[in-house]
Chain A
């Protein structure tokens, strides 16, 4: 989408039509951002960063409304359009949230809020408890970071540095300084 936007605007620029280029640029941005905005209006949990919520979730705050299937879809699509609109925002944070959602959906199966679809997979019954759910969110985060930064080890570490409780992190930080 971004490539489409920039190539089409650049073509207009080549014709020295500055006003036309400016308005088409504005139109593209507005169009993309409105799609993203409508999506987030439908699913308000998808707005914002997401890493804070995951941090809270992994430390024992029960935020089921932030980590489920509709949020996954909304966040993914909305993020693509918001980035294409040229806003100064990143796509890495949402991807980590999306990874966490994937983990939660796989683990949890039957959520309240899947618009009537029964997603309960009975073969995964052992995962239907809070502990497994949290672990799966962790794995999802790791996979998200690994995919988006092409950085698998960093993904494993993010669980500890960003998502785990700070009291652990202090200890890790000390080790980090010592290692230096």
Chain B
């Protein structure tokens, strides 16, 4: 099979990732794998149609199952890979336009749409405009197209025949459909399926989706999807970018079909790869999206085209702007450390004094509780350097650790003389006490502080004790 080579290469890539990278934690990957497996199993059980748990094929492939139209032939020719590269590059450019529109709309709303009422007005206006578009555009598209007859569908796959049911009649009579309504006036998952699977067949007057509705749909939908930024509802970008891309890719297939008579380009394939191109241009994810698209399409032969398209889209997109997620991170002011600091040289101009307090509040290895307590109360520092007797840095103590220790009251309390006598000392400690007594020093004997383990420190996670809520009496404050 033609798919063996790229598949094995992809396996090598996967293997190199799993075994060769020290950042790739095998345990986490395996657990994520198990999680994904269980989730998939649950979905399969829920999708099964009751006949001994057999799942419906359509329900397992979200965007429908792509099958080989001709036996033992891929749905594309090998030289079409170069067309897919062009498709990917253009997808990267379009994705960049999407990102930039999204960024500027988002910035506008962050600046101007600040109150609750304005947000709701924005939301309702947007919904109104969107509903107008999705209702009035099909209404204006007066042309009714004939549905393919049963004879014409004789050699169609089950998936393609099913996609006919997804066509929307709208104002047309029985047996006809409205092309615009089939894209706009239905759930968007259904329109993706229509675009992916409605076969465009030659030598007939029926062109499935013609160029007019595709262009109109692509432009309006793309623009509206890019302008959703700043809406205060939960929303994702996958389906919009896939749907706009599906229309865009189908346009390519349609143009190729009509520009070169006799040349059979499968519009469904172009639709899938157009979706990949725009999605790659918007999100800039390559490897995981390749696998996801492959698994949603259900056809291994698309591996190479998808890899090529995603790679080209990412390459051309990254040359122009950041991916949408990086832009969102930047807009939300999240402190995210980018891998490529474009202004890395600037770091040299930031001195340590700009980050740390001057002078730093430090503790000795053994410190009075009162000192720690006062320092915690009077400063807002999150870490305190620990110095040994020679003034050398031994480590850093975090505020949460100190607070937890104070809260647990694990510190050495000075013993009164009666307790000192009763206390059983180890021979070493006894010798040390004797030596200090000889040197004339008065050793305040301390009860040994309890040992605290790490999990005890982290037990109060995530709500660590705050210093203001810790009460220490005078007696405790002189402890060390």
Which residues from chain A sit less than 8 Å from chain B, CB to CB? 2-3, 6, 10, 13, 18, 21-22, 25-26, 29-30, 33-34, 36-37, 40-41, 44, 46-53, 55-56, 59-61, 63-64, 74-75, 78-79, 82-83, 85-97, 99, 108, 110-112, 125-126, 128-130, 133, 135, 138-162, 164-173, 175-180
Contact = CB atoms under 8 A, between A and B. Distances in A.
Given A157-B291, A180-B6, A129 B236 contact: no
Contacts of A167: 339
B42 interface: yes
A165 B24 contact: no
Contact of A165 (B285, B292, B339): B339
B35 A93 contact: no
A160 B287 contact: yes
Given A147-B40, A159-B32, A176-B287, A33 B170 contact: no
Contacts of A40: 232-234
A95 B62 CA distance: 14
A159 to B, nearest CB: 6
A6 B124 contact: no
Nearest to A81: B233
A140 B39 CA distance: 10
17 contacts: A2-B187, A37-B120, A49-B328, A55-B329, A61-B334, A64-B462, A75-B234, A86-B127, A86-B134, A88-B243, A99-B39, A112-B462, A135-B28, A146-B39, A151-B295, A153-B36, A154-B288
B239 A91 contact: yes
A94 to B, nearest CB: 4
Secondary structure class of chain A's binding surface, majority of residues = helix
A30 B124 contact: yes
B231 interface: yes
A171 B21 contact: yes
Contacts of A151: 291-292, 295-296
A49 B230 CA distance: 10
A33 B129 CA distance: 13
Contacts, number: 306
A129 B455 CA distance: 9
B235 A108 contact: no
B130 A87 contact: yes
Contacts of A33: 123-124, 127, 233
A129 B458 contact: yes
Nearest to B44: A150
Contact of B459 (A6, A48, A112, A125): A125
A158 B283 CA distance: 12
B461 interface: yes
A129 B400 CA distance: 13
B60 A150 contact: yes
B352 to A, nearest CB: 21
A32 to B, nearest CB: 8
Interface string B118-129: 011001101110
B126 A87 contact: yes
Contact of B286 (A90, A161, A168): A161
Interface residues of B, number: 100
B23 A168 contact: yes
B427 interface: no
B371 interface: no
Contacts of A168: 21, 23-24
Contact of A88 (B62, B136, B228): B228
A166 B131 CA distance: 39
B37 A152 contact: yes
Contacts of B3: none
9 A-B pairs with least C-beta separation:
A93-B236, A179-B13, A90-B239, A90-B236, A154-B292, A89-B235, A166-B339, A167-B339, A146-B36
A145 B62 CA distance: 12
Contacts of B350: none
B347 to A, nearest CB: 16
Contacts of B240: 88-90
Contact of B232 (A47, A93, A170): A47
B28 A149 contact: no
Given A161-B288, A175-B17, A89 B233 contact: yes
A146 B35 contact: yes
Given A150-B296, A162-B285, A165-B339, A176 B307 contact: yes
A154 B295 contact: yes
Contact of A61 (B10, B16, B336, B461): B336
